A = this chain, B = another copy of it.
């Protein structure tokens, strides 16, 4: 199979969107325009593999510059996403589409499932002795891709988690006896839950041990409902309240089939888009917590952050945004140098000042694999993070807000006898 010197390129966006996934699309398009001698037309698959199978392609070459710039800063998958895994017979169809539209370069923006899909397509190309070049370009808020220091999309969701938890803890402490449970995304890895710990770093004039999140539960550690209740009891006994973060993936560990939602073609059960887990855990705390009598009723609430955490405009990490663009642009350069069957990763070059650079690793090292939060970033009790995690995450999220409390403001001496309210 031969192509002319100038071949066409195709971009797919796949899996859950992020706040910066369109930066990666913009990076690819910008670099492709810079290399117009080799890349003729850039097509976009409308809704990923769906679009490719149904030959729903968009011609992105004529996209005006100002739209591309605006698009880059718009969350969500502009091309449309999909969660399909190519079947045997799908592969035949894909190569028909590639052939008909002279597509030689494929950029598959996605997470580890997309890396698997890219690998399946590439294996088929090998069998066919087909000159297709395919690169996987990383994107996932879950930060669970192997080999890369972190995934584009994670810095922004980590930034959102810090803000949301900080606000939530300030809200919770406004009341007596508040136990607040937050369910965040993270099916197999606790990276987002861990990032909520950044809220503590926002607190300026107070003992950070008193500030939430007081407890963080990640799928890396086995979840025990009994321990969960004991942990919250201990925090409540100490400071009269608790702000808790739970990664949705711990639902898989509960002896309760009610949390099993629908599954996609990669076998991933739906966990988000429902408040069930939070309601279940809140109910459990209401039932089991021993409450101090003098402070009024226990106030247990749960919030499930849901989809807003991954697609929130106005709270994007600048570093994340830049890196998301860079992995896209680098993918084009790498491919035109002959690379295929690889994934783009980010190598951390320096912590202070922070810098990173794109590099390539074999797809096989990433596909179907999950990077967990490593043991040295999780505390011994399995309900919080260590300083190693802060060192890792702080450069990725940008400047955080500062929060003040009344601090050591003076308590006024009491002059009256105690009041017992009827």
Contacts and interface: CB of A to CB of B under 8 A. Distances in A.
Interface residues of A, number: 101
A12 to B, nearest CB: 12
A176 B312 contact: no
A4 to B, nearest CB: 17
Given A307-B303, A314-B315, A56 B411 contact: yes
A81 interface: yes
A58 interface: yes
A208 to B, nearest CB: 15
B273 A276 contact: no
Contact of A411 (B57, B315, B418, B422): B57
Most buried by B among A44, A75, A97: A75
Interface in A328-373: none
Interface stretch (A165-173, A222-230, A387-395): A165-173
Given A78-B406, A168-B307, A302 B314 contact: no
Contact of A406 (B44, B313, B404): B44
A381 B311 CA distance: 30
A164 B310 CA distance: 10
A300 to B, nearest CB: 8
Most buried by B among A44, A297, A403: A403
A75 B90 CA distance: 52
A304 interface: yes
Interface stretch (A32-40, A47-55, A186-194): A47-55
Interface in A71-105: 71, 73-83, 87, 89-90, 93, 96-97, 100-101
A17 interface: yes
Given A204-B70, A282-B274, A405-B74, A311 B171 contact: yes
A58 B89 contact: no
Most buried by B among A171, A273, A311: A171
Contact of A275 (B81, B173, B275, B406): B275
Nearest to A422: B89
B168 A410 contact: no
A409 interface: yes
Nearest to A166: B313
A313 B167 contact: yes
A93 B164 contact: no
A171 to B, nearest CB: 4
Copies in the complex: 2
A287 interface: no
Interface stretch (A59-67, A114-122, A129-137, A143-151): A59-67
A306 interface: yes
Contacts of A170: 17, 74-76, 311, 313
Contacts of A303: 273, 304-308
B406 A63 contact: yes
Interface of A: 13, 17, 19, 43-44, 46-47, 50, 53-60, 62-63, 67, 70-71, 73-83, 87, 89-90, 93, 96-97, 100-101, 163-164, 166-176, 180, 202, 204-205, 262, 272-276, 278-279, 282, 296-297, 300-308, 310-315, 401-407, 409-412, 414-416, 418-419, 421-422
30 contacts: A47-B176, A50-B176, A54-B419, A58-B410, A59-B411, A60-B406, A70-B404, A71-B405, A73-B404, A74-B170, A75-B171, A77-B174, A78-B406, A82-B175, A87-B421, A90-B421, A163-B314, A164-B308, A167-B307, A180-B273, A180-B307, A274-B301, A275-B275, A275-B278, A275-B279, A303-B304, A303-B308, A305-B308, A314-B315, A314-B401
Given A164-B312, A274-B278, 17 more contacts: A13-B174, A58-B412, A59-B410, A60-B409, A63-B406, A67-B407, A76-B167, A80-B175, A100-B415, A101-B412, A164-B308, A167-B311, A170-B311, A171-B307, A171-B310, A171-B311, A273-B300
